């Protein structure tokens, strides 16, 4: 029998996202309540009423200027900015679909997403404008359909600014189109799988609004005005008369940031300060100076907060709680951060395909359920099935008894409607509403999930970030905490296989002790065999490969020439074998 969430079901709204957020009957906070504030230039901020008005005006402008119609796609290729929420909400108002892309993408990577999603227009930022222009041109998007968000560096530039698309003559008659929330898409987010290039995850309006409600119900702690009464625990309320203040440092293009930091604040009324990108010292100083009470983070940020000397200088005691997700977090880090700074960390767990959150640790359980990702959100069912390769039937039909380690499947209103233009990938993970997560774990008797492994082979790379110079107890290169920088081995293999010197190839993630992250490494069968390999070949191939991909996908684990790539009888690369081999060899 599938396992039900212990929370009572929520009576979910069935409406489009814009109406869900801006026509809400039981809203408690007033129109002039500040929702977003720029952490870089604090003077820039948007109240709830401003967001509502800006998004309607912009949605009308999209219709007037670009003839934007229901289900037209807007590509979003920008670093974090407080203009992102009104542009996203305006596009949804117009009935459009938003497809956010990593602003670190190369031209080729962006072209792929723009073409696959069928983007009609592209919103970008002056800092990445060159790449945006080239990609738009290759994807067949006219330059007149590119516009800028954020700072307007050069007023003489031909590229429009989003503010010039608002408040146009003759747009008063436009209305929000009738949408079918359970079928019409709101977002096409791109998630890297193991089977080649990133896949467009089709998320409906109902997927997103359901997850906001599911999380809101399970969360129950964040307060816009300090009035909630927490259960008896050691977690204080924000200072009297003030609400929670969230510091947003995760990328908005990734599902974790998109739902928790772009949409949810408009629902909960929690004031959110937006950083354009993560920078450790800035993060600490903003927490201290603006009495931040909560932040969504990822395990490498927890690591930095535990270990980096600069953290010592700052008072982080205003933080009531933090939420870590997107990758495994060890018990040692949670205890370490609490011992060092008194900062509490709980975990969340989600996937792009589940819009995203499916398990959340309760605040009061941050220590008693340490090392787990918490309990199921409401309106969700789960089951655990035998892991592929375990020797048992692993087609998702045979459920394991509760408490046994298995692959997690979930079913609920937040489960996506499939991959865009990719029926076979959809069929592999979605059947009768059950989504196969690819993650392996087990539930304890209180319903808390521990993730033990992942079936999927994605390499989760954490790159360099802005950090003060390290001291003796830090590695010499600090690592980026941001999620969304997944490296799909099959994508790199695809490129490498086309190299004239290469006969066969496999890419796996290997642990670099120096970089403190998993990095991609290629195992290459050279044309003509091992004896034909020159020492310079490795360096040449790395240079060739690195020029083709975004920074986070570079072959930082190097290449190794081998006689043959190990494969199963059905032709699948045996990555586990290579990883084991690498574990023994890979030392820097």
User: Which residues of the chain form contacts with ligand 4UV (CB under 6 A)?
Assistant: 191, 255-256, 260, 323, 325-328, 347-352, 356-357, 373, 437-439, 451, 454, 483
How far is Cα 475 from Cα 511, in angstroms, rounded to an integer?
14
> Least distance (Å) from ligand 4UV to the CB of residue 216?
12
In the complex with ligand 4UV, the residue whose CB is nearer, 410 or 519, is: 410
Q: Are 58 and 160 in contact (CB under 8 A)?
A: no
Q: Are 462 and 486 in contact (CB under 8 A)?
A: no
In the complex with ligand 4UV, the residue whose CB is nearer, 160 or 579, is: 579
> Least distance (Å) from ligand 4UV to the CB of residue 264?
10
Nearest residue to ligand 4UV by CB is 325
Longest dimension (CA), the chain: 74
Report residue 513 as tokens: 């002790």
How many C-beta neighbours within 10 Å does residue 116 have? 20
In the complex with ligand 4UV, the residue whose CB is nearer, 82 or 487, is: 487
Which of 360, 463, 331 has the alpha carbon at shortest distance from 5? 360
How far is Cα 511 from Cα 19, in angstroms, rounded to an integer?
46
DSSP 537: H
Cα–Cα distances in angstroms (integers) from residue 87 to residues 92, 358, 367, 461, in the given order: 9, 27, 39, 29
How far is Cα 15 from Cα 442, in angstroms, rounded to an integer?
34
CA 510 vs. chain centroid, Å, equals 22
Which of 507, 503, 508, 566 has the alpha carbon at shortest distance from 530? 503
In the complex with ligand 4UV, the residue whose CB is nearer, 293 or 352, is: 352
> Least distance (Å) from ligand 4UV to the CB of residue 159?
31
> Least distance (Å) from ligand 4UV to the CB of residue 168?
37
- How many alpha carbons lie under 13 Å from residue 570 in its C-beta half-sphere? 2
> Least distance (Å) from ligand 4UV to the CB of residue 424?
19
> Least distance (Å) from ligand 4UV to the CB of residue 6?
18
> Least distance (Å) from ligand 4UV to the CB of residue 262?
13
Q: What is the DSSP string of 279-348?
A: BHHHHHHHHHHTT--EEEE-HHHHHHHHH-GGGGGS--TT--EEEE-SS---HHHHHHHHHHH---EEEE
> Least distance (Å) from ligand 4UV to the CB of residue 256?
4
In the complex with ligand 4UV, the residue whose CB is nearer, 134 or 197, is: 197
Q: Label the pairing between strands 294-297 and 245-248.
A: parallel
> Least distance (Å) from ligand 4UV to the CB of residue 408?
9
| Range 323-361 burial, b when 16+ CB lie within 10 A, else e | bbbbbbbeeebbebbbeebebbbbbbbbbbbbbbbbbbb
In the complex with ligand 4UV, the residue whose CB is nearer, 54 or 301, is: 301
In the complex with ligand 4UV, the residue whose CB is nearer, 113 or 145, is: 113
> Least distance (Å) from ligand 4UV to the CB of residue 319?
16
In the complex with ligand 4UV, the residue whose CB is nearer, 184 or 439, is: 439
> Least distance (Å) from ligand 4UV to the CB of residue 359?
8
Q: Show contacts of 512-515: CB within 8 Å, 24+ apart.
A: 512/556, 512/557, 512/586, 512/588, 513/587, 513/588, 514/475, 514/476, 514/477, 514/588, 515/462, 515/475, 515/477, 515/479, 515/556, 515/588
> Least distance (Å) from ligand 4UV to the CB of residue 247?
15
178 burial type by CB count under 10 A (0-12 exposed, 13-18 middle, 19+ buried): exposed
- Three-class SS state of 274: strand
Phi/psi at 268 (5° precision): -90, -20
In the complex with ligand 4UV, the residue whose CB is nearer, 112 or 359, is: 359
In the complex with ligand 4UV, the residue whose CB is nearer, 455 or 525, is: 455
In the complex with ligand 4UV, the residue whose CB is nearer, 369 or 524, is: 369
In the complex with ligand 4UV, the residue whose CB is nearer, 340 or 454, is: 454
Q: Are 320 and 287 in contact (CB under 8 A)?
A: no
């Amino acid at each position: 029998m599938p396992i039900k969430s212990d929370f009572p079901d929520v009576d979910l709204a069935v409406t489009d996202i814009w109406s869900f957020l801006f026509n809400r009957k039981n809203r408690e906070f007033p129109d002039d309540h500040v929702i977003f504030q720029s952490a870089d230039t604090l003077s820039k901020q948007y109240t709830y009423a401003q967001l509502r008005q800006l998004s309607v005006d912009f949605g009308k402008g999209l219709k007037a200027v670009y003839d934007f119609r229901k289900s037209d796609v807007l590509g979003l290729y920008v670093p974090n900015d407080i203009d992102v929420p009104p542009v996203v909400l305006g596009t949804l108002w117009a009935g459009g679909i938003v497809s956010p892309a990593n602003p670190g993408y190369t031209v080729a990577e962006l072209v792929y997403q723009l073409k696959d999603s069928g983007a009609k227009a592209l919103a970008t930022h002056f800092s990445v404008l060159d790449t945006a222009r080239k990609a738009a041109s290759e994807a067949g998007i006219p330059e007149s359909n590119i516009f800028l968000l954020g700072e307007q560096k050069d007023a003489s530039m031909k590229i429009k600014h989003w503010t010039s698309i608002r408040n146009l003559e003759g747009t008063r008659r436009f209305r929000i189109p009738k949408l079918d929330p359970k079928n019409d898409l709101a977002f096409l987010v791109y998630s890297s799988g193991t089977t080649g290039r990133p896949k467009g995850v089709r998320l409906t309006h109902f997927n997103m609004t359901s997850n906001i409600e599911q999380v809101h119900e399970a969360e129950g702690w964040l307060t816009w005005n300090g009035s909630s009464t927490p259960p008896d625990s050691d977690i204080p309320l924000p200072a009297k008369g003030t609400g929670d203040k969230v510091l947003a440092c995760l990328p908005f293009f990734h599902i974790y940031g998109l739902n928790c930091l772009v949409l949810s604040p408009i629902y909960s009324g929690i004031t959110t300060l937006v950083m354009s990108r993560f920078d450790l010292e800035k993060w600490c100083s903003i927490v201290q100076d603006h009495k931040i009470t909560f932040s969504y983070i990822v395990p490498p940020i927890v690591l930095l907060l535990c270990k980096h000397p600069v953290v010592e200088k700052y008072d982080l005691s205003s933080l009531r709680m933090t939420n870590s997700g997107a990758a495994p977090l060890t018990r040692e880090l949670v205890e370490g951060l609490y011992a060092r700074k008194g900062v509490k960390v709980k975990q969340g767990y989600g996937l792009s395909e589940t819009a995203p959150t499916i398990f959340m640790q309760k605040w009061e359980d941050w220590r008693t359920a340490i090392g787990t990702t918490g309990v199921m959100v409401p309106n969700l069912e789960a089951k655990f099935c035998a892991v592929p390769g375990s020797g048992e039937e692993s087609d998702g039909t045979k459920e394991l008894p509760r408490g046994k380690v298995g692959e997690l499947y979930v079913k609920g209103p937040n489960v996506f409607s499939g991959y865009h233009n990719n029926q076979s990938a959809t069929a592999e993970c979605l059947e009768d509403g059950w989504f196969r997560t690819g993650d392996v774990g087990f539930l304890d008797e209180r319903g808390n999930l521990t993730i033990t492994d992942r079936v999927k082979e994605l390499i989760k790379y954490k790159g360099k970030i802005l950090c003060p110079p390290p001291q003796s107890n830090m590695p010499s290169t600090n690592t980026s905490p941001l999620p969304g920088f997944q490296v799909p081995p099959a994508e790199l293999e695809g490129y490498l296989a086309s190299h004239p010197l290469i006969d066969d190839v496999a890419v796996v993630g290997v642990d670099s002790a120096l970089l403190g992250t998993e990095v991609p490494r290629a195992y290459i069968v050279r044309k003509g065999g091992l004896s034909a390999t020159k020492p310079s070949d490795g360096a040449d191939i790395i240079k060739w490969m690195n020029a083709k991909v975004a920074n986070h996908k570079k072959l930082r684990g190097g290449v190794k020439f081998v006689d043959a790539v190990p494969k199963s009888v059905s032709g699948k690369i045996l990555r586990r074998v290579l990883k084991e081999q690498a574990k023994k060899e890979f030392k820097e």
